[in-house]
Structure 1
Amino acid sequence: MSWQALWIWGDGEESPRNEWRCFRKTFDVPAQGAESASLRVSADSRYVLFVNGTQVGRGPVRSWPFEQSYDTYEVGHLLRAGEPNTIAALVLHFGVSTFYYLRGRGGLLAQLDYGTGEVGLKTDASWLTSIHNGQHSRSPRMSCQQAFAEYVDARDWDGDWMNADYDDSGWTGSVELGEVGMAPWTSMKPRDIPMLTEELIYPVRVEALAKVSTFKLSTVIDVRSVMAPGSEEHSDIVQFTGYVATTIRAGRAARATMGFLAWGECLKRFSWNGEIVGSDRFYGIMPERYVDVELKEGDNLLLIDVSTERVHHGKLNIGVYADDPAELSFVYPGAGESESAFLAVGPYDSAVNYDHKPSREVNWEDEAYKSVLGDVKGAEDLGRYAAVSKPIPLKYVAEADVFGLCVWRKDDVKLAVPAQLQNAVIPHGEAGVVPVFEGFDTEVLFDLGKEYSGYLSFEIEAEPGTVLDWYGFEYMAGEYRQQTYGLDNTVRYVTKAGRQSYSTPVRRGLRYLALNVRGASAPVKIYNVAFTQSNYPVAEVGRFECSDPLLNDIWEISRHTTKLCMEDTFVDCPAYEQTFWVGDSRNEALVSNYLYGVQDILKRCLRLVPGSKDQSPLYADQVPSGWSSVIPNWTFFWAIACKEYYEQTGDRAFAAEMYEHVRFTIEHYLQKIDENGLFNVKGWNLLDWSPIDQPNEGVVTHQNLFLAQTLRVAAEMGELSGDAEGAARYREASDRLAAAINEHLWNEEKQAYIDCIHADGRRSSVLSMQTQVVASLTGVAQGERKRRMDAYLFSTPTNFVQIGSPFMSFFYYEALAKVGGVSVILDDIRKNYGNMIRHGATTCWEQYPNFAENRANPDELTRSHCHAWSSAPAYFLGRETLGVRSLSAGWTEVEIAPVPCGLSWARGSVPHPAGGRIDVSWTADEAAGRMQLSVSYPADVSVRIKLPEGFAGEVKETKLERLV
């Protein structure tokens, strides 16, 4: 069906910052012919769709604006034949680029098609629209990777606006933007994966109750947007020099505490009433720093040097506390009137930094910039800088720092949790009552039992104007909470009178929910707190159990992590980023193959990557993204994943399709080969978080090794695609690169590959396990060198840099599996993942806690507690312990060869990509050398069964016929 609908929006800015806009259309449905009806819809940036008040779906999936995705819903069952019907949509327009969205412009597109072929409805000027008046756009960014935290005042908006009987007489007609095909959405692409799940999860208990007090005054300033004009269009790293000034007005003199909860991001130094505050006066653990100051009655000048060398986010958090209850407020320090309380001095200089193309440094020695802090002694001195000063627009100044208010405590009095308050987690009609304490806020802490990813909802009863500040975080242990610095995972909801419910449209990931009740004149009743788990729909086909309970627990956290990180693409984590990191997804896909067996999600991931070619022909490391960033290894892993997709599915046509894109980027990579025949590039040359020598410019050994492997992959894909000439060329290029690596990057004395050659020609003195692992895995090391590399896998020299992330462990395990090191894999899994289990993990961590450089705070075991690049055990336990491995493309031939490694039994299932599954169950008596093995599998699969070396026993096979 062709598009007749028009893109629509409202009056005002094309791309407003953090605007929620509501749309409605009431129309008559014919008495007959509407039983079958499909509704196609898309929006920029995200939408929630309703038909006659029923929520139908959310979308669209992330996509490049030049191939905007749209969704199709079957809605005939929701239409009321012969009656007026209402379709409504809430559109969240970001107005900034993120790591999963490129800034476009506000827009909604919808068309209802009946099964008869008639167009029943289309977006045009007849649709009514209104700004969501309860949503406060002046909330801070959640993170540089994501859009905005949430602030909704229910007193200013009717929550029933999407229902058919709502009075929309105060709304206005929509503005028609243009037909399908207009910029920036120059083509439309149907959604290529199923709708995500929506599964209600309830907290398992109220974990804690406390009466608390926090900052009296707070804000967050988007310094990046002020000091780097135009940076809303991208998410690239910026630098700038400049200052932010404000006056803190106090009703009377008092001792005060100032808090900066993003220290170092946009706070180099500052002065207080003309006096530069020395670093010795600060206390607290980075990035949370505090300083005590004297407030004088009246106006106190705060001047902050917000200059920064490299920043994505660029925010400034300010909190002020004083025991004295006198009023505190931010007041504009400049001459004249301003609606803003903040003045920007500068920028004196600003620049965008790229990691894969030339960029410049700002002028840090500019005396005009450097002298300001010492020269300004009072607000009157700011007048000398009028030529480079301007009020900071209100849209860049948050009304409150809800994150800071939830994190910092002047008072924190723990209370026993009353039994009746536990009713708040039991949806049975009885309310949990949150007590109110004079002079304090009340915090109720909910535990969901494990981490989830989705949407918060609640039903409460309160007096109007009560502030409910919700804050989600991932981890706590005893009194310690790991605060989500770098992620404002908050929702502020201001209540209307009476009983009410709310469901957030913003996705977030968390395990714990801290509710801070502020300004309550009466106890708040909580009838329901729920979390809608949302992920790519998967049946849990893969299973694993064995005689080691620790391995069972580790397999389960790997499974749950993988599921949580399957959204509309694979993502790195559900909390901090929700970003499709290209390299991460290669390993995540292999794990998913052994758990769920779904392929559409990987197929769309692989197809998204070449869309970044206009950002960089080397392809970006996360897509679609406003950050034009290149990690060469991530491109290599993408190409390898394209070949592995063919091996999983046998889809030769897809291999040929992706070969064209692989060839495009490989040709540009080959242009980076230097006079020594080595790959030499400026980029983010990452493999592991450990202190390996991987400079962002020069020859990095692990990258050269993976490029050699990728060239072989390109050759294999060329052969599959019928490009014999190209295949031969890439195979020769791989051989030449391997020879250059062995000539220039081997240290004969140390019997190891060095980490790199620096841009100045200096050979690295660093030897790392990472480099030796990759040399073994990629096959570049041959003969005696290969035997040396393999020996290191089993016995790591102590002077080598050790593996520092579960992501790198995946490659280590791959290398070990190739040389019969399954027992070493299991021991390493028990050690490192067992450490996670001992610390209460319900999902896999991003990092291992054994590297001090990874953590500034010793209590912080890892940044992200749910990271799918770490889910390796679910793959290797299925592949090695159960022993299920594919021998041919599409799994038409399969080997079942268990490796007991001291286990007395194991059983489980592995999905087959063509449908069905392979079930394996075995018991082993190692002392007697006996194994009993039972397997079942689809009858059209050729299966080769091998008992472990040194074992004899019985094998029972069951072949299952497929339905035709």
Structure 2
Amino acid sequence: MQASRKWNAHWIRPEEDKPEKNTYYLFRKDFAVTDRAESYTLYITADTRYRVYINGCVIGYGPPLCVSHYHYYDEHQIKLRQGVNCIAVEVYHLGVAPDSVCGLLCEIASETGRSLVSSDAEWKVTRSEAWRQDTHYFRMSMYAPFQEHFDARRIPDGWMTPGFSDQSWAGSRIIKGQWEDRPPAVLPWGHLVPRDIPFMLETPRLARSVMRVEESIDLLNRMRSEDLSISLSVPGQPLHHATVEKPDQLLRTTGHTVVQCSTDHLDRSFDGVYYPSIVLDFGKSINAFLELEISGEAGGMIDIGYAERLINGHFNNTIEGMYADRYVMREGRQRFRPSTWKSFRYVKIMFRSCVAPVLVHRVQASVTEYPYEDRGEFHSNDSTLNQVFEICRYTLRLCSNDSIMDTPWREQAQFVGDVAAVTLGGIYSCFGDIKLPAKFLKQSAANQLPVGLLPSVTNSANNPMVHPDYSLWWVHALWNHYLYTGEAEWIHRYYPHTLKILQYYMAYIGEHQLLENIPHMTFIDWANVDRRGVCAPHNAIFYGVSACIEKMAVLKGDAHTQAQLQQIRGGIKKNFSRMFFSEERGCYADAWVDGSLSPITSEQTNMAAIYWELCDHMEPSHVADRILGSDPLRHTEAQPFFTMITLRALNKIGRGAQALELIRSRWGRRMVDKGATSTFEEWGLNGSWRTGVFSNVMRTQSHAWSAFPAEFLIRSVAGFEIVEPGCSTVRIAPMESSFNYNIAIPIPQGRVSIKRENGTTQVSAPDNVTIQ
């Protein structure tokens, strides 16, 4: 564990006793520099986010999304000039977490560690009136749940530069802890953690096409003015009154587009004002700050809406994901960049109250993404598999920022099960990165609950859900991270967390030596799986993951836990088929409830039984045929998340070709053939059978838990298996196939390459890696 740095700074806050949610504060401090040092280090964090400037220039923003008791801080290398300098910080206070406190912690130190300036009571602060506070709140979002309304006329001119007159601003209040002489040890920020991942890359991107240019009657939304998505979703008509000249210039970096609302109403006889709007398509979903450079008159409003898809060919973001920004112009040429990135493919830019012409010089997306390197590769002469691989790899990128997200479009949440079961394996396989997976494992462990389980979301305190099987997937991921890196410290450090999870489960082992009646909401998959009573897939997952815990116990020399697990696993193995196998169905039922088998049969249960070798009554191939054969039993189909187990199970019993065909039929026909550029949350976009009854809930088009084929097409097609932790010895058993392929597998020592062409296979690896 990295030691905490010795701070000279104090946590500071505004004078307000209880800052309101969704508020922005401006902190600043002028200070003198007398030496000629080349560079300095800026240490900074805030609750909830900061954007920091030195002498008017943006230095960065952060910190990574986190909970207060495990709070990250950032380090920026900066340059200062001799004489007076200014540090200025926008602090955004989200304010929806139960223990949330608005605060800033900041220090600039020289190369020798000497503190030049640090946050204290002498810093000036004011609550900014440029941002509206009572904007629409989309509760599902972890990162940016509030729409942003920013009025450029109300930001103090020059507040980020030296010499600004801040005499009317209040002084900051030091947040005092139990030990006032030991800054910054104050609650709720009980543990400060240095940023352990790189800063995100930002790359500019222009829109691919102009989808629509239209106008709409401008009617004031008086009752719900806080929600911009309502007006943004009003369908328009062809231009008759408003003006949009040269909209295609928005696809270029030169020239400009002229936009103007209708002015016919000024003669006092025409009824109403029409505002113009432009819908841009960026080609595929991206995570980006949409940046505008414009010239216009003060008071003109620009509303920006973001959407992952169009509805019936029209922009509509009122249904789900009501992400939107408003910019109110000041006079002259100006730029706008929202304080948070959004995930979108389509953007609608709406110009309101723009009676005078507005010149739009540039509309650009500044794409923000984790700096992965494409070290893993899969290329073949099977175009469908190639396309599936590409959309899966891209989705892994899309769902990686300063946290690993389920989807960037809706929640931006680090869901433990999503990440641990699918995303991490894809990251190792496609990129070979270990820093972001390591952050996930540590951040999740830091949120362990007293009962022993992990909360379902671990980058935010705004989601109280707990799925017990998610904790099992975290244990599985912890073991796999150790296997991949060879760093035993991961097991030594987090073995106690694993034991607490095990102890939770041991309390629910019943008279049949199986788990039963677990009170927390078992997840398994977004599908109609029977989770009641003695749940078969939950027992199978526990059986498989407990093997990982047993290996940890061996590594730790914990004979007691090892013996316990042998007994527990023996009981599950002995009784699984006795409890769940149905002679009538020829396969396994989902649960044993109130003395009888559940009527529900699922792919999830049967593939889990095959994968974790729990089939005793019948050959695994016969069970697989009852579910995936030519004449299958009526059953619940696995959604993309749990199809990872289906693919692994098929491959395990020698049916790799069938697994590949499943990838072609599910990801190929249901996603690629529908024009997907990233992987869908479920097989359908416009509804779900997850409860057994169709529900027309919109599903996301950018979900990392659906990206498992990226790992499968690299590792499983290559027959890659880690024999010695750290990949010093690996096993390669390339899949025989009717197609040619080239695969590269990133490992800590470099890359293992497999080339199969016309039935002949070539394997190469770094010199310090043994191939079996």
Find the counterpart in structure 2 of residue 808 from structure 1.
Answer: 642
2:374 match = 540
Deviation at 1:713, TM superposition (A): 1.5
Question: Shift of residue 17 of structure 1?
Answer: 1.1
* 2:13 aligned residue: 9
Give the Å deviation of 1:195. Answer: 1.6
How has the CA–CA distance of structure 1 residues 407 and 526 changed in structure 2, closer, same or farther, with 3 Å as cutoff?
same
Structure-2 residue corresponding to 1:653: 489
One of 428, 432, 443 as aligned partner of 2:257: 432
What pairs with 1:506-517 in structure 2 (closer than 5 Å)?
Answer: 506-517=340-351
For structure 1, which segment, 198-207 or 576-585, has the greater mean C-alpha deviation from structure 2 after superposition? 198-207
Distance 1:941 1:874, change over 3 A: same
**How many Å separate the matches in 1 of 2:50 and 2:211?**
34
Report the CA distance shift for 1:899/1:138 in structure 2 as closer, same or farther (over 3 A).
same
Which one-letter code corresponds to 1:936 in the other structure?
S
Q: Determine if the alignment matches structure 1 residue 630 to structure 2 residue 460.
A: no
Shift of 1:419: 7.8
Do the aligned residues in 2 keep the contact of 1:588 with 1:871 (CA within 8 Å)? yes
- 1:471 Cα offset (Å): 0.6
Query: 1: distance between equivalents of 2:201 and 2:450?
Result: 33
Tell me the residue number matched to 1:79. 80
State the alpha-carbon separation in 2 of the partners of residues 722 and 531 from structure 1.
53
Instruction: Indicate how the Cα distance of structure 1 residues 627 and 906 shifts in structure 2: closer, same or farther if over 3 A, else same.
Output: same
| CA displacement at 1:690 relative to structure 2 | 2.2
Write the distance in 2 (CA, Å) between the matches of 1:461 and 1:682.
59
Q: Is the 8 A contact 1:882 1:896 kept in 2?
A: yes
Q: Residue 110 of structure 1 aligns with which residue?
A: 106
Q: CA deviation at 1:681?
A: 0.8
Task: Quote the Cα distance in structure 2 between the aligned partners of 1:896 and 1:613.
Answer: 37
Q: Deviations over 1:134-163 (max 9, x none)?
A: 100110113333331111111111465323
Q: Identify if the C-alpha distance between structure 1 residues 819 and 581 changes in structure 2 by more than 3 Å, giving closer, same or farther.
A: same
Q: Tell me the amino acid that sits aligned with residue 694 of structure 1.
A: R
Contact 1:433 1:524 in 2 (8 A): yes
Q: Distance in 1 between matches of 2:308 and 2:722?
A: 37
Structure 1 SS opposite 2:427? helix
TM-score (norm: length of structure 2): 0.91
Report Cα offsets for 1:686-726 as digits up to 9, x if no partner.
2222222234xx32211111111222221111111221221
Take 2:318 and 2:406, find their aligned partners in 1: how far apart are those partners? 16
Q: 1:619, CA displacement in angstroms?
A: 2.0
Distance 1:63 1:95 in 2: 13
Question: Residue type matched to 2:365 in 1?
Answer: F
2:727 paired residue among 891, 897, 914: 891
Q: Which residue of 1 aligns with 2:269?
A: none
CA distance in structure 2 between the partners assigned to 1:13 and 1:149 by the alignment: 25
After superposition, what is the alpha-carbon deviation per residue over 1:885-929, rounded to whole angstroms, capped at 9, x for unaligned? 4333211122333325321x2223221123x222333312xxxxx
Matching residue's letter, 1:640: H
State how many pairs are aligned: 745
Offset, 1:935: 3.7
- More displaced stretch, 135-144 vs 852-861: 852-861
Indicate the SS of the match to 1:583.
Answer: helix
- Tell me, yes or no, if structure 1 residue 674 matches structure 2 residue 500: no
* Alignment of 1:692 onto 2:692: no
Q: CA deviation at 1:761?
A: 4.9
Distance in 2, matches of 1:861 and 1:400, equals 24
Question: Deviation of residue 737 (structure 1)?
Answer: 2.5
Whether contact under 8 Å (1:154, 1:496) holds in the other structure is yes
Deviation at 1:510, TM superposition (A): 0.7
Tell me if structure 2 keeps the 8 A contact 1:616–1:628: no
Alignment of 1:646-795 (within 5 A): 646-679=482-515, 680-695=517-532, 698-758=533-593, 760-761=594-595, 763-782=597-616, 784-792=618-626, 794-795=628-629
SS at match of 1:116: coil
Q: How many angstroms apart in 1 are the aligned matches of 2:194 and 2:46?
A: 13
Q: 2-side partners of 1:818 and 1:414: how far apart?
A: 60
Paired position in structure 2 for 1:170: 168
Cα distance, 1:614–1:478 mapped onto 2, change above 3 Å: closer
In structure 1, C-alpha distance between the alignment counterparts of 2:562 and 2:366, rounded to whole Å = 48
Contact kept, 8 Å, 2:586 with 2:626, in 1: the verdict is no
What is the CA deviation profile of residues 231-261 of structure 1, one whole-angstrom value per residue up to 9, with x for unaligned ones?
xxxxxxxxxxxxxxxxxxxxxxxxxxxxxxx
Q: Indicate conservation of the 8 Å contact 2:403/2:436, yes or no.
A: yes
Question: Following the alignment from structure 2 to structure 1, what is the Cα–Cα distance between the partners of residues 434 and 682?
Answer: 27
Taking structure 1 as the reference length, the TM-score comes to 0.74
Where 2:200 maps in the other structure, the secondary structure is coil
Q: How does 1:145-294 map to 2 (within 5 A)?
A: 145-146=141-142, 147-158=145-156, 160-164=158-162, 166-178=164-176, 179-213=183-217, 216-220=220-224
Whether the aligned pair in 2 keeps the contact of 1:448 and 1:512 (CA below 8 Å) is yes
**Of 918, 938, 942, which residue of structure 1 is paired with 2:766?**
938
| Match for residue 249 of structure 2 among 414, 423, 439 | 423
Deviates more, 1:792-801 or 1:806-815: 792-801
Q: Does 1:126 pair with 2:130? A: no
Q: Distance in 2 between matches of 1:675 and 1:71?
A: 52
Structure-2 change in CA distance of 1:553 and 1:855 (3 Å): farther
Change in CA separation of 1:407 and 1:580 when aligned onto 2, cut-off 3 Å? same
Higher strand share: 1
Matched position secondary structure for 2:645 = helix
Q: Which moved more, 1:835-844 or 1:85-94?
A: 835-844
Q: 1:50 aligns with which of 49, 53, 73?
A: 53
Q: For the structure 1 residues 218 and 881, does the alpha-carbon distance in structure 2 shift closer, same or farther, using more than 3 Å as the test?
A: farther
RMSD: 2.6
Q: Unpaired runs of 5+ in structure 2?
A: 177-182, 264-272
Q: Deviations for 1:808-845, whole angstroms, at most 9, x for unmatched residues?
A: 11111111121222222222222222231222211111
Q: Which residue of 1 aligns with 2:95?
A: 95
On the 8 A contact 2:305/2:349 being kept in 1, the answer is yes
- Structure 1: distance between partners of 2:605 and 2:744: 34
Q: CA 1:814 to 1:751, structure 2 compared with 1: closer, same or farther past 3 Å?
A: same
Please tell me the residue identity of whatever aligns with 1:937. Answer: A
Q: 1:69 aligns with which of 62, 67, 72?
A: 72
Q: Distance in 2 between matches of 1:799 and 1:452?
A: 41
The structure-2 alpha-carbon separation of the partners of 1:792 and 1:480, relative to structure 1 and needing over 3 Å to count, comes to: farther
Counterpart of 1:690 in structure 2: which amino acid?
Answer: A
Match for residue 237 of structure 2? Answer: 412
The alpha-carbon deviation at position 174 of structure 1 amounts to 1.3
Q: Deviations along 1:49-107, whole A, 9 cap, x unmatched?
A: 222222222211233322322111222xx211x2211111111101102xxxx642000
Contact 1:22 1:89 in 2 (8 A): yes
Query: Would the alpha carbon gap of residues 583 and 775 (structure 1) be closer, same or farther in structure 2, given more than 3 Å must change?
Result: same
Query: Are the equivalent residues in 1 in contact too, given 2:70–2:446 (CA < 8 A)?
Result: no
Provide closer, same or farther for how the CA distance between residues 83 and 215 of structure 1 changes in structure 2, counting only shifts above 3 A. same
1:270 aligns to what?
none
Q: Which residue of 2 aligns with 1:247?
A: none
The DSSP-based 3-state class of the residue aligned with 1:788 is helix
- 1:553 and 1:218 mapped to 2: Cα distance? 47
Moved more, 597-606 or 416-425: 416-425
Please, which of 797, 821, 825 is the counterpart of residue 659 of structure 2? 825
1:869 to 677, 683, 705: 705
1:38, 1:74 within 8 Å by CA — same for their partners in 2? yes
Inter-CA distance 615–442: structure 2 relative to 1 (3 Å threshold): farther
Which segments of 5 or more consecutive residues in structure 1 lack a partner in the other structure? 221-398, 925-929, 945-964
Change (3 A) 1:418 1:131: closer
User: CA contact under 8 A between 2:257 and 2:361: conserved in structure 1?
Assistant: yes
CA distance in 2, matches of 1:160, 1:575: 35
Same amino acid, percent of matched pairs: 26
By how many angstroms is 1:882 displaced?
A: 4.2
Q: Which residue of 1 aligns with 2:443?
A: 608
Q: Which amino acid aligns with 2:231?
A: L
Give the conservation status (yes or no) of the 8 Å contact 2:243–2:262. Answer: no
1:454 shift after superposition = 3.0
